[in-house]
Amino acid sequence: MSIVEITAESHGVDIDLFYATDRNFTGLPVYTEAHCYLNADAAAKLIMAAELARRFGLRLRIFDALRPTEAQWVLWSHTPDPEFLANPRTGSPHSRGAAVDVSLSDDNGQLLEMGTRFDAFTPLSHHAATGIPISAQRNRLLLLGLMTAAGWDFYSKEWWHYQLFDSRRYPLIADSALPKPMMKPRR
């Protein structure tokens, strides 16, 4: 299986990997290096979604993509919540390079309002949540339409999460298999 590095230039997206910063639910960086990867099938669908967004004067902003299996264990150890995180024993679509966490930004680089922040583990993060402003509901539906038109499936409990329909058919990917590692080397 081919692993593709995603860059702003190659895929026409903005990249802000939250897990390479302390701006995630753990409060600490999970990735030592901010590299953005997907498997080749997902990378091709990402190009399609980015092109559809451009037609509306918007850009995709990537918050997470391929998540090495070691990173999934870090997240699960911090918050073992199966509603919002895949158990690393069975694996996440992220750890197969088959999922992306994404939002939309306007031509000024401002994120569109989505009603909650990325990785807000709350029922308000569900796609069908109605306790958020109508404008945020519209933006979520726009994102959903763009991503599904490009061939992505969605997870009903996270407005930001999209994955390939057949994500389980891809193997789990360890940090050591990546072209450039993302995790701190083990001692």
pTM of this structure: 0.96
In contact, 62 and 47? CB cutoff 8 Å: no
DSSP 49-116: HHHHHHHTT-EEEEEE----HHHHHHHHHH---TTTS--TTT--SGGGT-EEEEEEE-TTSPBPP-SS
Ordered domains of the chain (ranges, CATH): 3-177 (3.30.1380.10)
Contact 156, 127 (CB under 8 A): yes
pLDDT of residue 50: 98
Residues 129-143 pLDDT 10s: 999 999 999 999 999
Per-residue pLDDT of the chain (187 residues; tens, 9 = 90+): 699 999 999 999 999 999 999 999 999 999 999 999 999 999 999 999 999 999 999 999 999 999 999 999 999 999 999 989 999 999 999 999 999 999 999 999 999 999 999 999 999 999 999 999 999 999 999 999 999 999 999 999 999 999 999 999 999 999 999 999 999 875 4
Whole-angstrom distance, CA of residue 180 vs CA of residue 31:
12
Please give the Cα distance from 55 to 75 (Å, whole number).
Answer: 35
Q: Do residues 94 and 87 touch, judged by C-beta distance below 8 A?
A: no
Amino acid at 120: A
Q: Identify the pLDDT of residue 184.
A: 82
Question: Which amino acids are annotated catalytic?
Answer: 158
Strands 14-15 and 3-5: unpaired
> Which bin fits 25, alpha (ψ -120 to 50), beta or left (φ > 0)?
alpha
